Amino acid sequence: MRAYGFGRAGGPEQETFLEVEEPVPGPDELLVRVRAAGVNPGDWRVRNGAYGVPGPAVLGREVAGTVLALGEGVSGFAVGDEVFGGCPGMLGGWAPRARTIASFSAHRPDGVSAEQAAVLPVAAGTALDTLRGLALEPGATLLVNGAGGGVGLPLIQLARLQGLHVVGTASPGKHDLLTRLGATPVAYGDGVLDRLRAAAPAGIDGALDLVGGDALRTVAPLVPAAALYSVADKATVAELGGRAVERDRSPAVLTELARLVAAGDLDPLVQQTRPLDEAGEALAAVEFGHATGKIVLLP
């Protein structure tokens, strides 16, 4: 089977099409014919070696597709079901057929396209888990540090549904989109603390950092340490007294996200679809910051 991934850990030059064995579902797994696969920053981080995968390996962390087979002991699904979910080990989705984790998969409802469903498990799931962890009251202010990316955009929408005021740091090119989604955009760079204080005069009650490093350290003084979360820099956020986001990788999260999409309350913001032959270009757009919404591969 032809699939897109990388030969060994490293930069974009390591990406390539691979000839791999047909996947076989194991316990707690589904085999699906992939209709759509999401593209995430985690994909290039896997390729770079951040998660210890040496390669060769097929990229792709989330898919939507049609069930072809069930692993041993799996219940609640049947061959022919339309489903979406996360891939085991954060790998394997950029191919005509892939495995998903049955306990982190859900049925795709009518009114939600395969392209929309395919981008929900990773980014939107992280956004929903963040809000549940923070448990902010309506009227509170949430800071999203790096709001213009894959997690930030659904987070803004979900936070607004909960009655939160959202302030988001982002590059100027993404300010119009943040404003349209209901957030107050703030530019990065010198003077960002003053701009954040002006945007949130009553203070910031919680934050999700999606940048890490110095950008995280810069905004941390404005946020109560116990309400400072990060998915970009676990070491620094722990040093600052905050925490990493704890993921609830369950069907309930996916089902809730799909319900919100079907109701028109959450827009997955699929910016473009590309054939699998253009997987390299799609990943480059995400890696180097050229994407303003989600990119979906169609195997």
pLDDT tens profile 130-159: 999 999 999 999 999 999 989 999 999 999
Is residue 197 within 8 A of residue 222, CB to CB? The reply is: yes
Residues paired with 209 in a beta bridge: 145, 230
Does 127 share its domain with 99?
no
In this prediction, residue 69 carries a pLDDT of 98
In this prediction, residue 289 carries a pLDDT of 76
Is residue 254 within 8 A of residue 105, CB to CB? The reply is: yes
Average pLDDT score over residue span 81-97: 97
Q: Can you read off the two tokens belonging to residue 144?
A: 């999203």
- The whole domain housing 13 covers 2-121+249-297
3-state secondary structure of 46: helix
Confidence of residue 219 (pLDDT cuts 50, 70, 90): very high
Does 166 share its domain with 274?
no
In this prediction, residue 225 carries a pLDDT of 97
Of all residues in the chain, the percent with pLDDT exceeding 70 is 100
Query: Angle 279-287/41-48 helices, nearest 10 degrees?
Result: 100
Does 28 share its domain with 42?
yes
Q: Is the pLDDT of residue 292 over 90?
A: no
In this prediction, residue 62 carries a pLDDT of 98
Quickly count helices (H) and strands (E) in the chain.
10, 16
CB atoms within 10 A of CB 49: 16
Does 236 share its domain with 141?
yes
Does 227 share its domain with 132?
yes
What are the φ and ψ backbone dihedral angles of 285, each rounded to 5 degrees? Answer: -65, -35
Does 169 share its domain with 217?
yes
Q: Could you tell me the CA-to-CA distances from 85 to 56, 98, 156, 294 in Å, in that order?
A: 23, 11, 22, 16
Does 34 share its domain with 90?
yes
Domain count for the chain, please give it. Answer: 2
CATH of the domain at 16: 3.90.180.10
Contacts of 103 (CB under 8 A, 6+ apart): 28, 249, 250, 251
Does 200 share its domain with 227?
yes
Does 197 share its domain with 97?
no
Does 133 share its domain with 236?
yes
For 235-286, write each residue's pLDDT tens digit: 999 999 999 999 999 999 999 999 999 999 999 999 999 999 999 999 999 9
Contacts of 164 (CB under 8 A, 6+ apart): 136, 138, 139, 140, 141, 142
For 15-74, write each residue's pLDDT tens digit: 999 999 999 999 999 999 999 999 999 999 999 999 999 999 999 999 999 999 999 999
Distance CA 299, CA 281 (A): 14
CATH of the domain at 184: 3.40.50.720
Does 104 share its domain with 160?
no
Confidence of residue 291 (pLDDT cuts 50, 70, 90): confident
Does 164 share its domain with 25?
no
For 183-218, write each residue's pLDDT tens digit: 999 998 899 999 999 999 999 999 999 999 999 999
Contacts of 23 (CB under 8 A, 6+ apart): 1, 31, 92, 95, 97, 98, 99
Supply the mean pLDDT for the chain: 96
Beta strand 141-145 with 206-209 is parallel
Confidence of residue 12 (pLDDT cuts 50, 70, 90): very high
What amino acid occupies position 226? Answer: A
Last residue of a domain, one of 244, 267, 282: 244
Average pLDDT score over residue span 118-134: 97
